[in-house]
Each structure stands twice: as structure tokens, then as C-alpha cells.
Amino acid sequence: MFTEAYMQRALLTALLLAPLCGLLGVFVTARRMAFFSDTISHAALAGIAVGFWLGFTDPTLPMIAVSLGVAMFMLWLREKTDLLNDTIMALLLSGSVAFGIVVLSLLKGYRGELHRYLFGDILSVGPQEVAIAVVVTAIVGTVVFARLNALALLTAHEDLAHVSGISVRGLNYAFVLVLTVVVALSIRLLGIILVTSLLVIPPATARNLANNLRQQLILAIIVGALGGAGGVALSFQFDLPCGPSIVLTCLGLFLITLVGSALRKSRRRNLSPI
């Protein structure tokens, strides 16, 4: 099935980025940053538009740059203004999308590109994307595991992390930086609209089975890998868009584990003495 080079590239990229999203997603969901990452991914649309406008053939770099800019602007607004978090994110999300679509409409001949970036396109995964995915996964994976304790404590309580000697502000910015790069890269596979689901569904699936954080992290990585690979396979087999295939595969795993954990709980309840 995966005989063609482009198929192998897509599969490899999915096997790298989807588990990475699962790992980061455990902290994203616990810190209620799903909407934040959704804003980052939609900001990428503005980045894509700016990239084409400036004449980039591959908009990866402007995509990451604009997403990062929007992410940092969000953090700045959060610190410096009294605006509610949700308000800030909704403003920047809708603003980025509107800006991106207007610019793409003005640039003749790029409307077709829009679909690829909204829903993901495995055909767009070139050797360069694979190389970037390998490097980013290696670096981000190493950094996250090296700073796992600080990240866990930061997630549990920021002030407690501060008192325990962790540089809270630095770690928060570093986390947003890492998240932005991973989200922007994953847009190739998942598309702007669906990329956040890869940060949310694997950790939620893992939560159905896990009893502690260690298990949740390991399972989120495994679910990400299964969902990513399964989705890419489905996409090839039935000629489906890649992003929705990955999301549906992950959702299937979520539902199976949900039923499994419900059954396990009810069995435990029946066994316990009244």
C-alpha cells in the first residue's frame, strides 16, 4: 500500500507529528489551551496568505512566523489588558481568518490552495517537510521530556511552580513557541480547521484508560501514532481527505476506550460490596 514515495513521506510525517501532538495535548487540555491552539492554527491562514503575497512557493516559514506573532500578541494582550482570554482569542482567530481569505481572494489563482490548507493534504508533504518534521520531533520531544517535571508542576499550579524555583514566564513562552511550531507543521496533515483535534482527542482517549500522568502521556503518544497512521492509510485507501480521516480514526479510538472505561467502572461498582 505504501509503495509510493509520497505515501511513505505522508505516513512518516503522520507517525512523527501526531504522537508529538498527543504528548503536547496532555498539557494543552489540562491548561485549557485548546482554543488558544485553535487560534494559532487559524492565524496560519493569514501566514499562508502573506507567504503567497510575498512570492513564497512554500508558505511553511511565513505560516510559522505569523502564527508565532499572533501567539505572542495574545500573550502580550493577556498580560497588558483587562480583556478576557476568550475575547482576545476570538478577536485574533476571526481577524486572522478574515485577513487570510481577503488576501488570498485578491491574489489570483490561489483559491484552490485554500482547500488544501483548510483540510490537510498529504500530497503536499515533500521531502523538505519530512526533514523538518524529523528535526522538530527530535528537538521538541527531547525538550518536553527534559522539562517534564517543570511542565507538570506549571500545569498543576503556576504560583507553586514559581515558589519551587521554576521560571514560570520563560516556561510559558517556551511552551507556546513549541506548540505554535508543532501546530503550524501539523496543518499539512490535518488542515487548519481540524489540527486542534489532534491535541485534544489523543489525551482524552488516554484519559479513559490511564490511572496517572505517566500512563496518560504514554497512551496519548500511542493513540496519536495509531490515529495518524490509520488516518493516512484510510485516506490512501478510499481517496479521502487526510485531516478528516485522521480525526475520525482518533475519534473511533476515543469511543472504544470510552465504552471500555464505562464498562470497567460499572463492573467495579457491581463487584464492590453494598
Partner 1 sequence: MAEIHFHPRGLAIEVRGLRVTLGDTAVLRGVDFHVPKGQIVALIGPNGSGKTTLLRCLLGLQRPDAGQVRLLGEEVGPAVLKRIGYVPQRLPFDRSFILSVREFLSLRLRETRGWFWQRHRSTDAHLRAALAEVGVDHLFDRPIAGLSGGQLQRVLIAFSLLGKPELLLLDEPTAGVDTPGEQDFYGLITEVHRRHKLTVVLVSHDLSMVYRHAARVYALNGIICCEGTPEEVMNADSLKQAYGIHVTPYHHEHGPGHHHVH
**Residue 155 in the binding site for partner 1 (CB under 8 A):** yes
Cα 152 to Cα 32: distance, rounded to the nearest angstrom: 14
Closest CB to partner 1 among 9 and 207? 207
Cα 159 to Cα 211: distance, rounded to the nearest angstrom: 26
* Binding region for partner 1 (CB under 8 A) out of 2-10, 109-117, 180-188, 207-215: 207-215
Cα 65 to Cα 44: distance, rounded to the nearest angstrom: 8
**Residue 149 in the binding site for partner 1 (CB under 8 A):** yes
Closest CB to partner 1 among 26 and 46? 26
- Please choose, from the candidates 90, 87, 50, 85, the residue with its C-alpha nearest in 3D space to the C-alpha of residue 67: 50
Q: How many positions of this chain bind partner 1 (CB under 8 A)?
A: 31
* CB of 74 closer than 8 Å to CB of 89: yes
**Residue 212 in the binding site for partner 1 (CB under 8 A):** yes
**Residue 94 in the binding site for partner 1 (CB under 8 A):** no
Which residue from 31, 77, 126, 172 is in contact with partner 1, where contact means CB under 8 A?
A: 31
Which residue from 1, 32, 57, 80 is in contact with partner 1, where contact means CB under 8 A?
A: 32
**Residue 20 in the binding site for partner 1 (CB under 8 A):** no
**Residue 81 in the binding site for partner 1 (CB under 8 A):** no
Closest CB to partner 1 among 98 and 156? 156
Q: How would DSSP label each residue in 75-125?
A: HHHHHHS---HHHHHHHHHHHHHHHHHHHHHHSTT-HHHHHHHHH--GGG-
Q: What own/partner pairs with CB < 8 Å and gap ≥ 24 does 147-156 have?
A: 147/171, 147/174, 151/27, 151/175, 152/213, 155/27, 155/30, 155/31
**Residue 211 in the binding site for partner 1 (CB under 8 A):** yes
**Residue 205 in the binding site for partner 1 (CB under 8 A):** no
Q: Which stretches of the chain bind partner 1, using CB under 8 A?
A: 26-27, 29-32, 145, 148-149, 152-153, 155-157, 159-160, 162-165, 203-204, 207, 210-217
